[in-house]
Structure 1
């Protein structure tokens, strides 16, 4: 798996705030640190890989210019710091890559962008075009317009979503820790975990939250790595200090093995990024049909409609006890669907005999555990 990551053609590299800011105060973008990172990125690109960078650090970089000494907690100040810091951060990325004659392009995303299929496609096209034109895409969460409860929460999850959005061959998550340990690595008894093949390898692992200038922390990195690997993307988790060997031979850090059957871009988006407009509760027979048998969802197996939605929107699929089974794209609005509940397909009027959710547009979580 490390060899696969080392030779991956299209790689998303995520760098945390602490890896981009100075040790002195953690509130100033450090040009030397960015130069070191860009040197390693350039070496990997010269070896033939396409790279997309997901960069944290906007809020942290905006703190010093605004005279802030601690990371803001209220939304307005956080957004103001991000607005100032994003300029400083982009300037430093651009300055550093210019040493190699490479332009950069800034791509700012919110959860709402990823949740809407047309916006997600536009972001994908923009990133692809930047790469085609020889520019390095620098992706960050658009903190200045994100709102409480409608954000990625940290750029680790954003990196996982971007990795699948661009059909990446590998994701490299860089922070200030060499890899995954079963507890705080400062603990003398901490055990290093070199590989994660499934959830069993994470039993007993205690992962912490973010530091003083970031929001990610090891817990979010593990969550993001698992998200990407469930979508079929191998992940290498290590420190920014290890970026050279990480991008050269991947012989450092912790590797998260991907699922063998990679989800299509649509199914990954539907499961992990899309906004949902409503819910459908199923009986036991319908649950077995759409999970074990991979069949389309029919009206006869639906026991309850929750919410109002239109044809073509994404809904959550629930089991009899309310457990989340998966998501799917409905062929009917909630108003059209309500009179259909409980009827066999052949008993429905002409024009209403399509599946409620076709199997090709239905994704279930059970198969991605």
Structure 2
């Protein structure tokens, strides 16, 4: 059995795991620039292509690692300013390797120890070594799934730059926010709110060309895998009252009519 598959008995139950989306806490149109307002508010509450020269691959690998490590430090610093003790944990230095973007080895015990010691562990997606490709991007969404599997939080919150999951790109003026998604035992999912019969078109979720981690497609897939464990997942816009309610667990049972976000839950009879 792989190391990440083990379950760790924490001294106290883990209430929540939070994923800070890159688009929510950075300025995507500027190089390595933090969205300080969103990061502060959230704290309060180069993959290679075939044919590229290997020297360019290695240079991109190094540059990516420098960027994400710097971002991780900014998150730890922002939490510290709010009086929240935290510790940065790098996937690479903790022994994370991948095979086709699936985590093969991860030091979940380090994360559990940090939690039991009173720290908030801060992890991040990274450029990591890969058994078949040499190196690749390990998405934070994938890391969250493995953490949820081992640490069993009450719920998981994905903070993004949009209000949740839409039936098509949210830039489309006709896009509809999917407020609740149900996950079956086989991992498949379906929209239950709004009711399917009230929607005139099929869900069309696309991936931006520049997104190396799969964008919303990967996020829903990983969220569904977490929900299948019986752990509710909320995808919601960072630095809003809606995200604050999700973080506080105020939407666990019934979704308020005025709450904007997407709840992904295991289908219960």
TM superposition score normalised by structure 2: 0.69
Aligned to 1:222: 220
Structure-2 separation of matches of 1:225 and 1:206: 17
In structure 1, the partner of 2:109 is 125
Deviations for 1:254-293, whole angstroms, at most 9, x for unmatched residues?
11112569xxxxxxxxxxxxxxxxxxxxxxxxxxxxxxxx
CA drift of 1:157 comes to 2.3
Please identify the structure whose Cα radius of gyration is greater. Answer: 1
SS at match of 1:200: strand
For residue 241 of structure 1, what is the aligned residue in structure 2? Answer: 239
Native 8 Å contact 2:15 2:154 kept in 1: yes
Aligned-residue RMSD, C-alpha = 3.1
Distance 2:137 2:224 in 1: 16
Within 5 Å, give how 1:1-369 maps onto structure 2. 9-22=14-27, 25-40=30-45, 75-109=57-91, 110-112=96-98, 115-116=103-104, 119-120=105-106, 123-146=107-130, 148=133, 153-198=138-183, 199-201=189-191, 204-210=202-208, 212=210, 215-242=213-240, 243-248=243-248, 249-250=250-251, 251-258=259-266
Instruction: Tell me which moved more, 222-231 or 79-88.
Output: 79-88
Superimposed CA distance per residue, residues 155-190 of structure 1 (whole angstroms, 9 cap, x where no aligned partner): 222212211121111111122121111111222222
Structure of higher RCO (CA pairs closer than 8 Å, 6+ residues apart)? 2
Deviation for aligned residue 1:39: 0.8
- Shift of the alpha carbon at 1:215? 3.0
Distance 1:252 1:174, change over 3 A: same
| Partners of 1:151 and 1:260 in 2: CA distance | 37
Secondary structure of 2:245's partner? helix
> Per residue, is there more helix in 1 or in 2?
1
Q: CA deviation at 1:9?
A: 4.9
SS of the aligned residue for 2:205 comes to coil
Label 1:205 to 1:34 Cα distance change in 2 as closer, same or farther (>3 A).
same
Q: Number of aligned residue pairs: give it.
A: 219
Unpaired stretches in structure 1, ≥5 consecutive residues: 1-7, 41-58, 60-73, 262-369
Q: CA deviation at 1:136?
A: 0.9
Structure 1 residue 37 displacement after superposition = 1.1
| Unpaired stretches in structure 2, ≥5 consecutive residues | 1-12, 47-55, 184-188, 197-201, 252-258
Judge which range, 84-93 or 160-169, deviates more.
84-93
TM-score, scaled relative to structure 1: 0.52
- Closer, same or farther in 2 for the Cα pair 1:257/1:13, shift >3 Å? same
CA separation in 2, counterparts of 1:146 and 1:112?
5
- Judged with a 3 Å threshold, the aligned counterparts in structure 2 of structure 1 residues 75 and 20 are, in CA distance, closer, same or farther, namely farther
Q: Which residue of 1 aligns with 2:53?
A: none
Question: Residues 126 and 139 of structure 2 are in contact (CA less than 8 Å); yes or no, is this contact kept in structure 1?
Answer: no
